[in-house]
Chains A and B, each alone.
Chain A
Amino acid sequence: AQSVTQLDSQVPVFEEAPVELRCNYSSSVSVYLFWYVQYPNQGLQLLLKYLSGSTLVKGINGFEAEFNKSQTSFHLRKPSVHISDTAEYFCAVSDQLSGGSNYKLTFGKGTLLTVNP
C-alpha cells in the first residue's frame, strides 16, 4: 500500500509571505499524487495533481508543487499567500485497493495553513 506523510500539522505565516507545505510519499514504481484544500465546513477541492511528465505542476489559486523522485517528495508552494488561503491542505496518493482493480485516495494527516495579517 502507498502512503504519504505530511511533516507539519500546522504552518502559521504572515500575509504576502511565501509558504511551503511538505509532503513525502512512499517509494513506488509509479505514483500519482494530489493536493487538495479544505476550507472550514466545506468539502475537498483539487489544487493540483502529478500524474507524469513535467515535475513542476501548477495548480489553481497560484499554488504549484514539484515532484522530486530522488527525495520522494511533492511539496506545495505559493510565493505570496493571502488571508483567504487559510485552510487545511491534504496531500494524497492514488492507492490500488487489494483484491480488485479499484483505486482509492490515501491522504496524509493534513496541514493547517493559517495566514495572519
Chain B
Amino acid sequence: DTEVTQTPKHLVMGMTNKKSLKCEQHMGHRAMYWYKQKAKKPPELMFVYSYEKLSINESVPSRFSPECPNSSLLNLHLHALQPEDSALYLCASSQEGDRGTDTQYFGPGTRLTVL
C-alpha cells in the first residue's frame, strides 16, 4: 500500500478564518512533507518532518503552521491567509528523510481557495 490520504479535498476560507489540512500515511514512513503548487507550476517544498521533528522550513510565512502529532499524521494549520495563498497543497511521505534514493509518495492534495 503506497497511499497517502489528505482531507479535505477542497477548502474555501476567508482571510480571518482558521482551518487545518490533514495528511495521513500508514506505510511506516518516517519523513513527511508539505508542498504548495500554484496553477501551471511545479510543487514547491514548504516543510519537512523527519522522525516527527520539524527539520526543514523553507522560509514559509508564520500564517502556515505545521504539526506532526505522530509518525502517521501531518497537519497544516492555516490562519489569516491571503488570496495569493490559494493553491493545491500536497502532502508526501518517504521512508527516511536523509537518503537521496528515497521515493516520495504524494497524496491527492487539498485545493485551497482564500477569499
Contact = CB atoms under 8 A, between A and B. Distances in A.
Contacts, number: 64
Contact of B90 (A43, A94, A100, A102): A43
Interface residues of B, number: 29
A78 interface: no
Interface residues of A, number: 27
Contacts of A41: 111
A105 interface: yes
Interface stretch (B13-21, B42-50, B64-72, B78-86): B42-50
Contacts of A14: none
A104 B42 contact: no
B98 A101 contact: yes
Contacts of B42: 90, 107-110
A109 B101 contact: no
A109 B108 contact: no
Interface of A: 30, 32, 34, 36, 41-46, 49, 51, 90, 94-97, 100-105, 107-110
30 contacts: A30-B100, A32-B100, A36-B106, A41-B111, A42-B108, A42-B109, A43-B4, A43-B106, A43-B107, A43-B108, A44-B43, A46-B103, A94-B101, A97-B56, A100-B55, A100-B56, A101-B98, A102-B31, A102-B48, A103-B97, A103-B98, A103-B99, A103-B100, A103-B102, A104-B33, A104-B45, A105-B43, A108-B42, A109-B42, A110-B41
